[in-house]
Amino acid sequence: MEEAAAAAVSSESGEGKREIWIKHYSSSHRILLVGEGDFSFSACLAKAFGSANNMIATSYEKLLEKHSTARIHLDELKRLGCTLLHGINVKYIHEDSFLKVKRFDRIIFNFPHAGHYLGFGENNEELILMHKKLVCNFFSRARRLLSENGEIHFTHRDDHPYDNWEIRGSAKQRGLLLKEMVKFHKEDYPGYENKRGGDIRSNETFSLGDECFTSKFYLNKTWI
């Protein structure tokens, strides 16, 4: 199904239900999206599926103050039945009263960032440590919300200096195994805009470069 690229495709499940796919995601998946920017990625999936009843999309930031484009996506998601949660810190997602009792087939974190700060370039050692801490916290907590055969999808640039975040090593240390890495192409998700985090030009997009990947992780069932 992953060859579907920008177009959603449908198939009949074993129970005769119509299942719709867009790239790695199915309308039958219970999906949690964390750290959404203007919610355009969530909206893309929801529109492809024709429903968002199985989706929960969350943000950490004061959304409309940072992303003026969010309103149209939020309205669309509400119309399609998506559960929207704001002020959700990935460090505490496993403790959230609504989320902690649920299990997800896909947990998606696209282009996480610890924040943009004046004078802090991406090569800055302090900023890299902040990114690594964010990644560690996410994997440690998100794994607790996975269904038995669920996957965490972590999308990011894999070139320098972003490779210093040690994403795959961090996941392994927290009981997650790498299933595969696949190239991320923004055009596969119509309407998606990758928004900047932090307080600097927050409603602008950023360069994805040529080395963007979605890393898919699953639970190491022998890990204690």
C-alpha to C-alpha distance for 177 and 179, rounded to whole angstroms? 6
Q: What is the pLDDT of residue 220?
A: 92
C-alpha to C-alpha distance for 114 and 101, rounded to whole angstroms? 27
- 5 found inside a domain: no
pLDDT digits 0-9 by tens, 105-116 = 999 999 988 776
Dihedrals phi, psi of 215, to nearest 5 degrees: -95, 125
Q: What is the pLDDT of residue 62?
A: 62
Q: What is the pLDDT of residue 204?
A: 67
Q: Which residues of the chain have pLDDT under 70?
A: 1-17, 62-65, 116-119, 197-205, 224
pLDDT digits 0-9 by tens, 40-69 = 999 999 999 999 999 999 988 766 567 778
Q: What is the pLDDT of residue 9?
A: 67
Q: Cβ(69)–Cβ(203) under 8 Å?
A: yes
Q: Which domain holds residue 210?
A: 25-219
- 108 found inside a domain: yes
Q: What is the pLDDT of residue 6?
A: 44
For the chain, how many helices (H) and strands (E)? 5, 10
- 3 found inside a domain: no
Q: What is the pLDDT of residue 173?
A: 93
Strands (E) located in 111-199: 146-157, 176-183
- 30 found inside a domain: yes
- 84 found inside a domain: yes
- Enumerate residues 6+ apart whose C-beta is below 8 A from 104: 29, 30, 31, 32, 56, 145, 146, 147, 150
- 48 found inside a domain: yes
C-alpha to C-alpha distance for 62 and 37, rounded to whole angstroms? 10
Facing residues of 176 across strands?
Answer: 219
Q: Is the pTM of this model over 0.85?
A: yes
Q: What is the pLDDT of residue 2?
A: 39
Instruction: Write the CATH number for 63.
Output: 3.40.50.150
- 4 found inside a domain: no
- 70 found inside a domain: yes
Other Cβ atoms less than 10 A from the Cβ of 149: the count is 8
**Count of structural domains, the chain:** 1
